[in-house]
């Protein structure tokens, strides 16, 4: 596994605070970041009662409205990428369709698969489906 400048204990400490609290702290420590690095579109949490999550981002892109423009990564390769880390992961999926959210990658099946691979959540600018059937937790 990769050498990292943090441990699981460090991630557990970060999980004590929500994102706005962490961002406010970073703005004090690094004031030049005050005008960058935040969302400008509405963001919705599937489970507002859930505790904050902290993990290693596993990033990818999705598109559903047109054929691939280049070689598509085999889905098994994506799953290997998500699982190949010694910390919990968070899938970060960018929907690159012209109309974001047209196709939903994340739902009952993908949440269940990713949970089994050690993923603790997903962040996407796209859409979710099967909200009442997502993997528990």
The DSSP annotation for 67-128 comes to: --SSPPPPHHHHHHHHHSSSS-EEEEEEE-SSSTTSS--BSHHHHHHHHHTTEEEEEESS-B
The DSSP annotation for 30-61 comes to: -GGGTTSS---S----S-TTSPP---EEEEEE
Q: Quote the DSSP letter at residue 19.
A: H
**pLDDT tens digit sequence for 29-53:** 999 988 887 778 888 888 888 899 9
Q: Which two tokens stand for residue 39?
A: 């969302």
**pLDDT tens digit sequence for 19-31:** 889 888 988 999 9
Rounded Cα distance between 101 and 79, Å, is 22
The pLDDT, as a whole number, for residue 68 is 83
pLDDT for 128 beyond 70: yes
**pLDDT tens digit sequence for 61-94:** 998 898 888 888 888 999 999 999 999 999 999 9
pTM of the predicted model as reported, rounded to 2 decimal places = 0.85
């Amino acid at each position: 596994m990769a050498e990292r400048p943090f441990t699981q204990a460090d991630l557990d400490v970060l999980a004590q605070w929500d994102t706005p609290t962490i961002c406010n702290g970073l703005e004090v420590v690094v004031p030049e970041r005050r005008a960058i690095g935040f969302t400008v579109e509405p963001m919705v949490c599937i489970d507002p009662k859930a505790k904050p999550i902290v993990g290693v981002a596993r990033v990818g892109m999705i598109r559903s409205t047109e054929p691939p423009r280049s070689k598509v990564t085999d889905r098994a390769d994506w799953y290997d990428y998500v699982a190949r880390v010694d910390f919990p992961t968070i899938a970060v999926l960018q929907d690159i369709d012209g109309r974001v959210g047209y196709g939903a990658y994340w739902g009952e099946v993908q949440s269940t698969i990713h949970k089994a691979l050690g993923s603790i959540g997903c962040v996407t600018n796209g859409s979710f489906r099967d909200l009442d059937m997502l993997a528990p937790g």
